Amino acid sequence: MSIFTDIKKGLYRYEEPNGGWVATVKDAPALLKAAEKARDAGVKDFDVFSPFPIHGLEKAMGLSRSWIPFFSLCGGIFGATFAFASMTLIDVFSWTIIHGGKPAWPWPAYIPITFELMVLFTAFFTLGTTLYLGRLGKISRRPLVNSVTSDGFAIWIGGNLSKQEVENMLQGSAIMIQEVPRK
């Protein structure tokens, strides 16, 4: 049972910022601290924005580890099974051709293609899960703060807090706080 809750916990999706406040901070360590404060204050909807991945972000945001590898594994198992089963079905049941006196079901010769399709489907499943969980593909989306794809760091805090509450929560580490319009 616990593994299912674990999987579910590791499949958090990106949420579009809707209402609340966005605050910019100085650098990556400040962003991690801000995320920890939001986590400790029990804010439900918040996200951080940074130009590069930051080590220790899961812990700071109070998220569990990503379960993407589980779906990669599913993809791998699917690809390998699909390849091996199709070749078996084709060679044994659809049209058996004996080449060079080799057996009708030459399973060792299937290993290379089985391996290749395993890798291919692992990649597809990994990519698909990442796109799904990141809600990527919505090309009209823009960052709340323009600089977060260059040198800026920002935290979005959702919910019905007032500006003062957000400022208190971040304990003065916020450089600028802006309201995020509600959709």
Partner 1 sequence: MDSATNVYSIGKPAREIDNDILKPVESFPTKTWWVVFSIATTVMLIMWGIIGYTFKVGLGPLGINNPVGWGFYIINFVFWIGIGHAGTLISAILYLFRQRWRTTINRAAEAMTIFAVMTALIFPVIHLGRPWMVFFFFPYPNERGPIWPNFKSPLLWDVFAISTYFTVSLIFWFMGLVPDIATMRDRLNNQESDSKFGKLWLNFKRGVSNVLSIGWVGSGKTWIHYEKMVLILAAMSTPLVFSVHSIVSMDFATSVIPGWHATIFPPYFVAGAIYSGFAMVMTLMIITREVFQLKQYITLKHLENMAIVILLTGMMVSFAYTIEFVIAAYSGNKIEQYAFLNRLKGPYAWGFWTMFTCNVVSPHFMWFKKLRTNIPFLFFITIIVNIGMWFERYVIVVISLHRDYIPSSWDLYSPTWVDYSVLIGSFGWFFFWYLLFVRILPQIAIAEVKADEYGDQVAKGMGH
Both tokens of 60, joined, read: 């700071």
When asked if residue 127 is in the footprint of partner 1 (CB under 8 A), the reply is yes
Per CB under 8 A, the segment of 1-9, 111-119, 163-171, 173-181 that binds partner 1 is 111-119
d(C-alpha 103, C-alpha 139), whole Å: 53
When asked if residue 117 is in the footprint of partner 1 (CB under 8 A), the reply is yes
When asked if residue 183 is in the footprint of partner 1 (CB under 8 A), the reply is no
3-32: which residues touch partner 1 (CB under 8 A)?
12-15, 27-30, 32
Per CB under 8 A, the segment of 1-9, 114-122, 160-168, 174-182 that binds partner 1 is 114-122
Q: Is 36 helix (H, G, I), strand (E, B) or coil?
A: helix
Measuring CA to CA, which residue among 107, 112, 102 is closest to residue 88?
A: 107
- Work out the burial of residue 62: count CB atoms within 10 Å of its CB; fewer than 13 is exposed, 13-18 middle, 19 or more buried: middle
Q: How many CB atoms lie within 10 A of CB 30?
A: 17
When asked if residue 163 is in the footprint of partner 1 (CB under 8 A), the reply is no
61-100: which residues touch partner 1 (CB under 8 A)?
61, 63, 65-66, 68-69, 72, 86-87, 90-91, 94-95, 97, 99
When asked if residue 136 is in the footprint of partner 1 (CB under 8 A), the reply is yes
Choosing from 7, 9, 112, 171, the residue that interacts with partner 1 (CB under 8 A) is 112
Choosing from 92, 141, 163, 176, the residue that interacts with partner 1 (CB under 8 A) is 141
d(C-alpha 77, C-alpha 99), whole Å: 29
Both tokens of 99, joined, read: 């080449």
When asked if residue 176 is in the footprint of partner 1 (CB under 8 A), the reply is no
d(C-alpha 41, C-alpha 24), whole Å: 18
